[in-house]
Amino acid sequence: MPRDDILSKFDLGVRHPALDSLRRAYATLHLSQRAPLEERSQKQLQLASVLVRHAKDNVPLYRDLYRDVEEIRSWEDFRAVPILTRDLASQAPLEDRTAEKSAPDSAPVEMVETSGTTGKKVTVLRSTRTEVWRSACKLLEYDWMGLDPRRSCASIRFDVGPNVRGYDSRLNCVVTNSWEEPLLGRLLPFGRGYVFRVGSKETVVADTLREVRPEYISATPTMLESLSSALDGPMFEIAMTIGETLYEPVRERLASHFGCRIFDTYGTREIGRIAVECPDTRNYHVHDYNVIVEILDDHGKPGNPGETGHVVLTSLHNLATPMIRYKLGDLATLGGRCPCGRTMTTIERLEGREVSRVVLRDGRKRLARHVSKALQDVEGFGPFLLRQKDYNVFELVVEEGSRGTQKDFEEARRGLSDLVEEPVTLTVTRVASLPPLPSGKRTRFVIDFTPEA
């Protein structure tokens, strides 16, 4: 292994079975970045075959769902495995999705739950094995960022508060000696962490950040935009954006305002690390040895590079509560070969949630990305919520302090007309504020009517 990667530089040398497994997993990810495609594909298929067989034999839900599934010997076999919808994953009792037996490193050690942004919470069990691979993916991401783990990091999360151990009432945040989780914290010398609760006043967070001066910050784009109104830059070296789609206008504003590099990552609570932004391009590279990412069209067929489709995920190391061909409700555009030379699966663009698509009168659905991007391009436009109230009737909700002009609203109306292929009515409503969701994310589009079947 090259001696200039993050593990070679900072490994504390602590010996423990889980840490040794983490070292091996990271080495696999690090050394396989430019591995031949066939080698990567075969390894994924081997892991998927073992996973499907384990699920069919040991998990009540899959025992029924997979009653007609035979041995997985090819990608055609794998793509014939039934889809696990978010509805089914959220409605099935956890005990029906949990393995009745598994290897010691796959025994449950932690239960996690999604934030419920979609209204459908999904619970999964994590094991030592899933944590090892999740941590290995993080290490690779940090290596690409050129991050020094000894420096300090702030984060804004929905699951902290004054009752959490380490809460500092003067700084109004949780202070930790290591900003990473215990497994990684035993492997590398991570610096101090400052964890703020989503919903904390921007001015309060800004005051603390001015005092402690962390080099890094991790938060949703929504939280960072809110923070920028109270905190002048330059401030950070790296901002790690998580949890929601990062649009280019927002990226540019954040990078300029805080005077830092922006690295976007893609992951979920129920799956773990999925993909990270390429250090050389705007593509996203999938952690292929941790997850299989399929991008399927509306008929369930694999898409081609440049085509947008439904994201379907398989967590390759979760044998405790297997998530196989899980359609979580995200949309993405498949990428081709990345100019950087890495052979990992490439996502060209993350498009947001399936529910963020405008419905046309003939039943087709289209992304409102271009309209959203145009609004976010406007300096000082601020948070907004676009409601589709009928096929050709929309409401744009903005804050009272928005700098959006009549010209901006008219351009949005024309964009929506082009999108739905008919003239539309757009009403603008101003409200005192549009706070983010408890998860720190922001809903930008909702459908407020029932389309005809």
Strand-pair category, 291-296 with 308-315:
antiparallel
Report angle CA 347, 349, 351 to the nearest 5 degrees: 120
pLDDT (0 to 100) of residue 339: 96
Alpha carbons within 13 A on the beta-carbon side of 430: 10
Strand-pair category, 216-219 with 193-197:
unpaired
Q: Kindly write down the DSSP assignment for every residue of 160-188, as one continuous string.
A: --TTSTTEETTTTEEEES-SS-HHHHHHS
Distance CA 387, CA 374 (A): 16
Report angle CA 263, 265, 439 to the nearest 5 degrees: 110
Report residue 409's pLDDT band, with 50, 70 and 90 as the boundaries.
very high
Q: Please provide the average confidence, as pLDDT, over all residues in the chain.
A: 91
pLDDT at 75 over 90: yes
Domains 6-133+268-352 and 360-447 agree in fold: no
Looking at 3.30.300.30, 1.10.540.10, 3.30.230.10, 3.40.50.2000, the CATH number of the domain 360-447 comes to: 3.30.300.30
Could you give phi then psi for residue 259, rounded to 5 degrees? Answer: 65, 40
Provide the residue ranges of all domains of the chain, joining segments of one domain with +.
6-133+268-352, 360-447
pLDDT at 1 over 90: no
pLDDT (0 to 100) of residue 340: 96
Q: May I ask the CATH architecture of the domain 6-133+268-352?
A: 3-Layer(aba) Sandwich (3.40)
Residue 272's closest CA among 409, 378, 386, 114?
A: 114
pLDDT (0 to 100) of residue 137: 98
Distance CA 66, CA 144 (A): 39
Count of Cβ atoms closer than 10 Å to residue 201 Cβ: 12
